[in-house]
Structure 1
Amino acid sequence: MNSIVNLPHDDHSCGWYAALPEPRPARRLTGEQKADYVVIGAGFAGLAAARRLAEHMPQARILLVDAQRVGYGASGRNSGFVIDLPHKFALEHPEPQHKQRLLGLNRAAIDQLQTLIGRHAIDCQWSHAGKYQGAVGERGLAYLDHFEKLLADLGEPYRQVERQELAGVLGTDYYSRAIFTPGCYLMQPAALVRGLGASLPQNVEVLEESPIQRLEKDAGGNWILHGKEGLIRTPKVLLGTSIFTQEFGYLRNRLLPVMTFASWTRPLTDAEMASVGVQADWGLTPADHAGTTVRMTQDRRLIIRNTYKHVPRYGRSINDSIRQKVREDHCAAFHARYPQLAHVPFTHTWGGVYAISRNFTNFFGKLDEGVFATACDNGVGAAWGTISGTLLADKVVGADSQRLDDIQSVTGMPSRNPPEPFLGLGVRSRIRWAAWNSRSEL
């Protein structure tokens, strides 16, 4: 028997979600249900898994269950990048084939999302905008030089963008230089996730606001999923639960819950856009991974994202005073870049929890008899969640492919964490040390 200890507890101030119309009333888990497959977690991974299962098994009853509303959790809280390149740490992998497999998987995810957005007319600010990776000072420039070498070794296209040209896009000369890579897409994450949930095949039933609190097996070998007001019996469970996978008793002491934060402004006026010479619809990530991400949305909102926290109790680890300090830090980063826009307020500040592992390894595959999972996206969840959820469904039904071979070859077991209190002390110290070292890039 596996019992959940902590449930999602996200803040109520996610700008992406607040910008959407009110959703339809939630359908919740009540009574006793039976299903051929149950997918827990309606983020990118769970949505992709449920869709693929339905395509393979059109006569099956598939339940997709989430503790919150679709689009409200981590998948709807990121900065809206769908990145094709392997993560910075994965780019340093010694085997070229490993990196090429990751690249192929990410691009397959982008193709999949683009097809679904077009087929179902999902309004989510989808844009093939590419991505800038920017450096402020010497530390950032050293990282940028390293990034350029990794791209050259990978054989991927890129372009150096110097300060003046970059300022013509960003509306600020804060950055010394950037590297532009063309394969990234931008989007409104909560809108995309909600749109994916609304366009699932007919044999997928979505149950929202229905936290699963306990898993156990019955005498016949089926799984019983216990909710607050009902239960589900099923032979197969797919977990698209990221960091919360450990709450079901799996991958415990192998995942690290980290929260990162973002703030955004109201939409800028024509006069404000012109006053700084900023263009709409671009995204910049920091060359120094502990630096600041900046985005301009299609509807002219500027986003600042930085600050990381170790959150062993997820959202309950964060209080109002911490959020206020985060907003102040975001204001400082915003004003440093756009002093002419100091009068423009932030309307929302929010956090999102994701899972990392000490060896930067993603888990994919079987956890128990009848239980499968993709977990630990290491901070690049949109593309990875989409392709890993899709291929997890393939694995469950026995649909072999080269892509399935690829994902199984680049995933493994996240390494064990040291016990508390040493884990918490170590993670907090490392985050503080990274922030101190990267202060010139914030």
Structure 2
Amino acid sequence: MIHLPNDDNTCGWYQALPQTPVKPQLNGEVSTDYVVLGAGFAGLAMARRLAEHSPYARILLIDAQRIGQGASGRNSGFVIDLPHKFALEHPNPEHKQKLLSLNRSAISQLSKLVKQYSIDCQWSAVGKYQGAVGSRGEAYLDHFEHLMKDLGEPFEHVDGAELAKVLGTNYYSRAIYTPGGYLMQPAALVRGLGESLPENIEVFENSPIRRLYKENGHWVLQGDHGVVKTPELLLGTSIFTREFGYLKNRLLPVMTFASWTRPLTDEEMQRYGGQLNWGLTPADHAGTTLRMTADRRILIRNTYKHVPKYGASVSDRVKQQIQNDHRQVFLARYPELEDVPFTHTWGGVYAISRNFTNFFGQLDDGVYASACDNGVGAAWGTISGTLLADLVAGEYSSALKDIQQVTGMPSLNPPEPLLGMGVKSRIQLAKWQSRSEL
């Protein structure tokens, strides 16, 4: 029995979208040339690229939920060009340049698709701020500045007064602005990518796969109402890759949480006094991510949980406590908006590894995966999914060589219960250390 995604219906990004017809469910017995499992950023990119390479092949894209309901539609809406904060610490400058090039290739690819298919997802090239609240955050900003100089990337200092004009709050002491990041509505982007796939891709939603096994040289995927046989299987399943027997004891399931308001009224916008459509990530990685969306919603994201049972690990009581914590963070920044309610609080599960290494490549005969995005899935999922399809098709490039050089095998985790105890303690320690930046 495979443990399936267990996402609730409280994701604000997804609930804000208009309803669309449901794609068919997997039914009966099907044979196909390729199966892509998982319709997030990685799976969508895999399927699209396979179809470009093999326009007459039959390609099935299967998701356990509706497209946009999973982790790819639950993030904070950043598509970041820079390497992740931990990757920026890598001692090899060439390694970091390759990550930067891969991320920017993903942004270019997504930009072209958004324009080509008129995907209405608030796609905007506005960069991002990295903000500090106090001395701890400012020390991290100083270090970030040093890393940016070593990388040769442009950035701007933004003092507290100037930052307040953008954010509508004087809560932050200063920030560093980097121009290369994009903002978007993630569920809208994922859905739009799913609606614009090539014609030889068949999409099945609400079609969980319960069992995977090999028979007569083909992989057999068994669902609730159907069975698929294929010689080539591409997994865009992130943390759920371990449910199929691969990368077991190497991936850590972590959920991070967000809350947002309803759209502010004209009068509330006057009280707010800041700009629209910006994003701020914390200088201290355990701090708070803050967004003002293009449609006037303020989003707060922080709080991390180890979720060995995915969504089922988080009770209603815990969700309410998280929303209460988010409310305090919101009021600390915007006390003049205390009458503006939160409408949604949600979490999204993703995979991290102890050695902060992404997996990319072949797992078994005819089985390939890009797994473990370490929390930066929009750009990484897009480019890794694209290049994985290139690998399967035998289309080699400098970008494929680069991604093979910057990825590897996630390290083994200690056994339970030591793993759960260790992760929980690490998260609690980070929360305590970063309390001044929340």
TM-score bracket, normalised by the shorter chain, equals over 0.9
Aligned to 1:9: 6
Aligned to 1:21: 18
Aligned to 2:95: 98
Aligned to 2:340: 344
Q: How big is the shift at 1:278? A: 1.3
Query: In structure 2, how many angstroms separate the alpha carbons of the residues matched to 1:138 and 1:347?
Result: 33
Aligned to 1:80: 77
Query: In structure 1, how many angstroms separate the alpha carbons of the residues matched to 2:148 and 2:329?
Result: 28
Q: How big is the shift at 1:11? A: 1.3
Alignment of 1:315-354 (within 5 A): 315-354=311-350
1:277 aligns with 2:268: no
Query: In structure 1, how many angstroms separate the alpha carbons of the residues matched to 2:374 and 2:331?
Result: 30
Match among 180, 185, 188 for residue 188 of structure 1: 185
Q: How big is the shift at 1:153? A: 0.4
Aligned to 2:221: 225
1:129 aligns with 2:112: no
| Deviation beyond 3 Å, 4+ runs, structure 1 | none
Query: In structure 2, how many angstroms separate the alpha carbons of the residues matched to 1:212 and 1:97?
Result: 40
Match among 369, 372, 378 for residue 368 of structure 2: 372
The number of residues matched between the two structures is 438
Query: In structure 1, how many angstroms separate the alpha carbons of the residues matched to 2:188 and 2:273?
Result: 28
Aligned to 1:111: 108
Query: In structure 2, how many angstroms separate the alpha carbons of the residues matched to 1:110 and 1:49?
Result: 16
Helix, strand or coil: the match of 1:232?
strand
Query: In structure 2, how many angstroms separate the alpha carbons of the residues matched to 1:223 and 1:243?
Result: 20
Query: In structure 2, how many angstroms separate the alpha carbons of the residues matched to 1:355 and 1:365?
Result: 17
1:164 aligns with 2:161: yes
Query: In structure 2, how many angstroms separate the alpha carbons of the residues matched to 1:23 and 1:247?
Result: 30
Can you give the 5+ residue segments of structure 1 that lack an aligned partner in the other structure? none
Aligned to 2:244: 248
Query: In structure 2, how many angstroms separate the alpha carbons of the residues matched to 1:238 and 1:419?
Result: 28
Letter in 2 for 1:79: S
Aligned to 1:175: 172
Aligned to 1:312: 308
Q: How big is the shift at 1:402? A: 0.3
Query: In structure 2, how many angstroms separate the alpha carbons of the residues matched to 1:40 and 1:351?
Result: 22
Letter in 1 for 2:306: H
- Between the two proteins, what is the percent identity of the paired residues? 72
Query: In structure 1, how many angstroms separate the alpha carbons of the residues matched to 2:19 and 2:173?
Result: 42
Aligned to 1:404: 400
Query: In structure 1, how many angstroms separate the alpha carbons of the residues matched to 2:80 and 2:149?
Result: 17
Helix, strand or coil: the match of 1:213?
strand
Letter in 1 for 2:39: A
Aligned to 1:266: 262
Can you give the 5+ residue segments of structure 2 that lack an aligned partner in the other structure? none
Please give the TM-score of this superposition, normalised by the length of structure 1. 0.99
Aligned to 1:212: 209
Q: How big is the shift at 1:271? A: 1.5
Match among 150, 153, 170 for residue 150 of structure 2: 153
Query: In structure 1, how many angstroms separate the alpha carbons of the residues matched to 2:412 and 2:95?
Result: 23
Q: How big is the shift at 1:26? A: 2.8
Asked if the contact 2:22–2:205 (Cα under 8 Å) also holds between the matched residues in 1, the reply is: no
Letter in 2 for 1:239: L
Q: How big is the shift at 1:25? A: 2.2
Aligned to 1:54: 51
Letter in 2 for 1:197: G
Q: How big is the shift at 1:269? A: 1.2
Q: How big is the shift at 1:276? A: 2.6
1:423 aligns with 2:419: yes
Helix, strand or coil: the match of 1:84?
coil
Aligned to 2:291: 295
Helix, strand or coil: the match of 1:246?
helix
Asked if the contact 2:106–2:383 (Cα under 8 Å) also holds between the matched residues in 1, the reply is: yes
Match among 184, 193, 197 for residue 194 of structure 2: 197
Asked if the contact 2:12–2:346 (Cα under 8 Å) also holds between the matched residues in 1, the reply is: yes
Q: How big is the shift at 1:270? A: 1.5
Helix, strand or coil: the match of 1:428?
helix
Query: In structure 2, how many angstroms separate the alpha carbons of the residues matched to 1:343 and 1:275?
Result: 11
Query: In structure 1, how many angstroms separate the alpha carbons of the residues matched to 2:45 and 2:283?
Result: 30
Match among 89, 93, 99 for residue 86 of structure 2: 89
Helix, strand or coil: the match of 2:143?
helix
Query: In structure 1, how many angstroms separate the alpha carbons of the residues matched to 2:191 and 2:397?
Result: 29
Letter in 2 for 1:206: V
Letter in 2 for 1:267: P
Cα deviations by residue, 1:149-199 (Å, 9 ceiling, x for unpaired): 000000000000000000000000000000000000000000000000000
Q: How big is the shift at 1:273? A: 1.3
Helix, strand or coil: the match of 1:237?
strand
Query: In structure 2, how many angstroms separate the alpha carbons of the residues matched to 1:387 and 1:402?
Result: 13
1:66 aligns with 2:63: yes
Asked if the contact 2:22–2:66 (Cα under 8 Å) also holds between the matched residues in 1, the reply is: no
Letter in 1 for 2:338: A
Match among 25, 38, 41 for residue 41 of structure 1: 38
Query: In structure 1, how many angstroms separate the alpha carbons of the residues matched to 2:260 and 2:254?
Result: 20
Letter in 1 for 2:423: V
Cα deviations by residue, 1:54-96 (Å, 9 ceiling, x for unpaired): 0000000000000000000000000000000000000010000
